[in-house]
Amino acid sequence: MMLVAVTGGIGAGKTTVLEQFARCGAEVADADALVHRLYEPGSELYMALIEHWGVRVVAADGQLSRPAIAEIVFSEPAELQWLNGMVHPRVRQLIKDKAAVARPALFCAIPLLFESGWEGDMNYTVAVWCDPDTQRQRLSQRGWDEREMQRRISRQLSMDEKLRRSDYGIISSCSWDLLWEQCRMVYQRILARATTAQKA
């Protein structure tokens, strides 16, 4: 099993980088997408959240309302801790299950890799970085105001710190050609190191 985490701050460009790794031939996954699966109506987690918070977290279509959940957990640290305790073990196991059958490796976007203490599960880590102005521009395109941006950003390690802790870094505030070249080089180097380690 080889598991590579793609991490970075919110708005850093993790999804775009993950798409480039898929273009290289990697199997990819996204921790946020796996959470969406866990939130499906009728699931164990769905029922647990409704039992804990009530119908205020259910949207009109019966799905869990992520904005309503965000409003709760970003206002109450204890509620965020409770939610993480419910979600993280389940997502962590799903990622390991997918990595066990991925060939040659699973590249998985995990935004809160270091904050969750999961780096020990990884063979390699790749941080995606962009400058603060680019980050805020991207987040404003999601319709977020400055208060919402700061609330989310303050819950994460800085992008500089994520970059410092990772094995590889990719700068996303650049041209498409340069982004592709960075992803291609990182992918090849990780596979080369993994092959060498397997032969040792």
Secondary structure element (H or E) that encloses residue 92, with its range? helix 77-101
Task: Identify the pLDDT of residue 196.
Answer: 76
**Taking all residues of the chain, what is their mean pLDDT, rounded to a whole number?**
94
Q: How confident is the model at residue 198 (pLDDT cuts 50, 70, 90)?
A: low
The answer to whether the CB of 147 falls within 8 A of the CB of 140 is no
Alpha helices in 105-175 (DSSP H): 113-116, 132-140, 146-153, 159-165
3-class secondary-structure state, position 188? helix
| Superfamily, domain 3-36+89-199 | P-loop containing nucleotide triphosphate hydrolases (3.40.50.300)
pLDDT tens figures, 136-183: 999 999 999 998 899 889 889 999 999 999 999 999 999 999 999 999
The answer to whether the CB of 199 falls within 8 A of the CB of 192 is no
DSSP letter (8 states) at residue 7? E
Task: Identify the pLDDT of residue 82.
Answer: 97
The answer to whether the CB of 2 falls within 8 A of the CB of 106 is yes
pTM of the complete model: 0.91
pLDDT tens figures, 35-83: 999 999 999 999 999 999 999 999 999 999 999 999 999 889 899 999 9
The answer to whether the CB of 63 falls within 8 A of the CB of 25 is no
Query: What residue ranges do the domains of the chain occupy?
Result: 3-36+89-199
